[in-house]
Amino acid sequence: MEKLAMLYEGKAKKIYDTDNKKYFWVEYKDDATAFNGIKKGTIADKGIVNNKMSAMMFAYLAENGVNTHFVELINDREQVVRRLKMIPLEIVVRNIVAGSLSKRVGKEEGYVLDSPVFELYYKDDSLGDPMVNETHAIALGWATLDQIHDMKEIALKVNALLTEVIDRAGIDLVDYKLEFGVCDGKVMLGDEISPDTCRFWDKETQEKLDKDRFRRDLGKVEEAYAEVYRRIKEAIANA
């Protein structure tokens, strides 16, 4: 397969066309932003960790029956994915209270939820990705009722698979963000799963091993990304 012209540059990735109309070529960058792009920086080798970790997570999910866009890892920073028609929603799944949920409901970070929480955000930077509900998504034509049903079902399956394997790495999967798209009429998991899009806390020390180290200026960002990748890789290898 051949990498052709760049089609789009996002905050963390560049998307290229390929000579196969079914596929995109994705390049992961070291650029990091937070708070809708207000805070900017770079995290050394983040693109390498996120590319390899996302490929590993998607391959693990695919082996366990989840339809994803992942096709193949090309090198340290690049992978090929299926071309999806993206649904303009960010789906946040939460197992433990943290971040914006902690502020919204006035509950301390670390409170273990009785059951997983499923939230929808409308993906629009100019609006700051506002939280919406299912009726907004349907009434505004962003997704159908069936697609929302499929996204929920896939998200719950992803949650069961990932919490189990990440637990075995000695890490709590606190919360994370998923994005979905449609290919050949089927809803599939797209985008990435990485320390940029998940909260990972060490089970013993509660130390944060994710992008909150960058968002909150906690230091040792690169080390946290490398450690979480190493530990989850080992847990998946032993799965």
Q: Which of 42, 75, 100, 206 binds ligand TMP (CB under 6 A)?
A: 100
Q: Which of 68, 162, 197, 221 binds ligand TMP (CB under 6 A)?
A: 197
Q: How far is the CB of 18 from ligand TMP (least distance, A)?
A: 26
* C-alpha 107, offset from chain centre: 24
Q: How far is the CB of 4 from ligand TMP (least distance, A)?
A: 28
Residues 9-38 close enough to bind ligand TMP by CB under 6 A: none
Residue whose CB is nearest to ligand TMP in the complex, by number: 99
**Could you tell me how many residues of this chain bind ligand TMP (CB under 6 A)?**
12
Q: How far is the CB of 88 from ligand TMP (least distance, A)?
A: 13
Q: Taken in order 90, 96, 99, 100, is the CA torsion positive or negative? A: positive
Q: How far is the CB of 197 from ligand TMP (least distance, A)?
A: 4
Q: Which of 46, 199, 213, 231 binds ligand TMP (CB under 6 A)?
A: 199
Residues 108-137 close enough to bind ligand TMP by CB under 6 A: 129
**Residue 145 burial by CB count (10 A; 0-12/13-18/19+): exposed, middle or buried?**
exposed
- Identify which of 227, 228, 219, 179 has the alpha carbon closest to the alpha carbon of residue 200: 228
Give yes or no for a contact between 208 and 110, defined as CB atoms under 8 angstroms apart: no
Residues 139-178 close enough to bind ligand TMP by CB under 6 A: 175-177
Furthest-apart CA atoms within the chain: distance in Å: 51
* C-alpha 39, offset from chain centre: 19
Q: Which of 92, 96, 166, 226 binds ligand TMP (CB under 6 A)?
A: 92
Stretch that binds ligand TMP, among 74-82, 97-105, 135-143, 148-156 (CB under 6 A): 97-105
Residue 156 phi/psi, 5° resolution?
A: -70, -40
Q: DSSP for 113-177, please give it.
A: EEEEEEEEEE--GGGT--EE-HHHHHHTTSS-HHHHHHHHHHHHHHHHHHHHHHHHTTEEEEEEE
Q: How many residues belong to the chain?
A: 239
Asked if 99 touches ligand TMP (CB under 6 A), the answer is yes
Indicate the residue among 17 and 109 with the shorter CB distance to ligand TMP: 109
Q: β-strand 171-183 against 85-86: which pairing, if any?
A: antiparallel
Stretch that binds ligand TMP, among 55-63, 109-117, 149-157, 193-201 (CB under 6 A): 193-201
Structure tokens at 50: 């996120």
Q: Which of 155, 198, 209, 226 binds ligand TMP (CB under 6 A)?
A: 198
* Contacts with ligand TMP, residue ranges (CB under 6 A): 92, 98-101, 129, 175-177, 197-199
